[in-house]
Structure 1
Amino acid sequence: MEHLKYPIGKPDIPENITSEHLEKWTQTLEEFPEKLEKLVTNLSDEQIDSSYREGGWTIRQVVHHCADSHHNSYTRFKWTLTEDKPVIKAYFEDRWAELFDSKSAPIQLSLLHLKVVHAKLVYFIKGLTDDELSKSFIHPESNEEVVLKENIGIYAWHCNHHYAHIENLLIRKG
């Protein structure tokens, strides 16, 4: 069950984040929308409404969740660079996934949203200085300080994590 929940493991962000890490993670962010679209485009509604694990979200919910989550991440970057260590707004992703749009809207809406959000986020990240990348926000659930460099790695992991959920389901179902 743990492998179905965390198919690539939990995030493992190094303490010393190098420019190579940042380049690799930024490339993941840049490529994710197209890669995800290729994975899900030819699926039927029945397949899109299949859960990747028992008690887990459907492919539809995962795609909409990625758009919602990455939109929030982009906003967190902006807050971090315009405020002094802001306490970000957390959200109940499980509740968002149960809203009618997450359960019924065409995935094309979120695939388009991801393309735009990722294009803006990647453009923004590539223009940041090392000092800006070292700024941080506070996550209210843990009171942990999250440095923007780390957040790039977390969201690159998030892309790969949910991609693997869908890909593994498709492999299991043939």
Structure 2
Amino acid sequence: MNEVLKEFQETLESAHQKLYAMPAALTDAPWAQGKWTRKQVLGHLIDSASTNHQRFVRGQLADHAVIPGYHPDAWVEVQKYQELPWLTILNLWYAYNQHLLGIASKIPAEKYGNVIQIAGETFEAPLQWWVTDYVRHLRHHLGQIFSGLDSDDTTSG
């Protein structure tokens, strides 16, 4: 898990610098034709952080936790990320992920085997899988935000 946590931290720092420097015109633009805008993708990553916050905490509190799922498109729509200032979205995303990194860094090794299941679904996986998947998911969507902007692939998934 040390490598995953190191990757998480490095991804946050690298992406934060690049996101902060992103021109406003790009944040309002879809990352690809017919896709979410970069604001909406970063908003989705806030929603993902919120969802995984529950997983990281509740997954430590029970041997088998059943946690509600969510519908990403609906969450992005209801929260109107597109209407918010970029720095508001960015600052919340960064702070929330710093908090998640802190939680993930302190998970006792014996808790990584605790199982998490999404309510209403049959798929379940140990907490270690969810932490690793969160970092993968984060990097995937950051790759979308940075798509076509430069050749630095440190945040692409």
Q: Which bin holds the TM-score, normalised by the shorter protein?
A: 0.7 to 0.9
2:68 is aligned, of 89, 100, 116, to 89
Unaligned runs of 5+ in 1: 1-21
C-alpha deviation, 1:84, in angstroms: 4.1
3-state SS of the aligned residue for 1:99?
A: helix
Cα 1:88/1:35, change in 2 over 3 Å: same
2:19 is aligned, of 40, 51, 63, to 40
3-state SS of the aligned residue for 1:146?
A: strand
Return the alpha-carbon distance in structure 2 between the equivalents of residues 107 and 141 of structure 1.
35
Sequence identity (%): 21
3-state SS of the aligned residue for 1:134?
A: coil
Query: Which residue of the partner structure matches residue 34 of structure 2?
Result: 55
TM-score (norm 2): 0.84
1:144 is aligned, of 123, 128, 151, to 123
Query: Which residue of the partner structure matches residue 6 of structure 1?
Result: none
Quick one: higher RCO (CA 8 Å, sep 6+), 1 or 2?
1
3-state SS of the aligned residue for 1:168?
A: coil
Cα 1:127/1:40, change in 2 over 3 Å: closer
Amino acid across the alignment from 2:68:
K
Unaligned runs of 5+ in 2: 152-157
Task: Say yes or no: does 1:153 pair with 2:153.
Answer: no
Task: Show structure 1 runs of 4+ deviating over 3 A.
Answer: none
5 Å matches for 1:1-174?
22-140=1-119, 142-171=121-150
